[in-house]
Amino acid sequence: MNTVNPYAPPQAKVIDVATEPGELELAGVGVRLGAHVIDSLLTWFVIFTPLCIAIWLSIDDKPGNGAGIAWLVFAVGCILLAWFNILYVIQNGQSIAKKWLGIKVVRSDGSPASLGRIFWLRNVVNGLITSAFGLYFLVDSLLIFGDARQCVHDKIADTIVVVA
* Whether pLDDT at 19 is above 70: no
In this prediction, residues 61-84 reach a mean pLDDT of: 88
Report DSSP letters for the chain, one per residue. Answer: -----TTSPP------S---TTS--BPPHHHHHHHHHHHHHHHIIIIIHHHHHHHHHHHH--TTSSHHHHHHHHHHHHHHHHHHHHHHHHHHS--HHHHHHTEEEEETTSSBPPHHIIIIIIIIHHHHHHHHSTTHHHHHHHGGGSTT---HHHHHHTEEEEE-
In this prediction, residues 95-111 reach a mean pLDDT of: 95
> With bands split at pLDDT 50, 70 and 90, how would you rate the model's confidence at 122?
very high
Specify the pTM.
0.79
Q: What is the chain's mean pLDDT, rounded?
A: 89
pLDDT of residue 50: 92
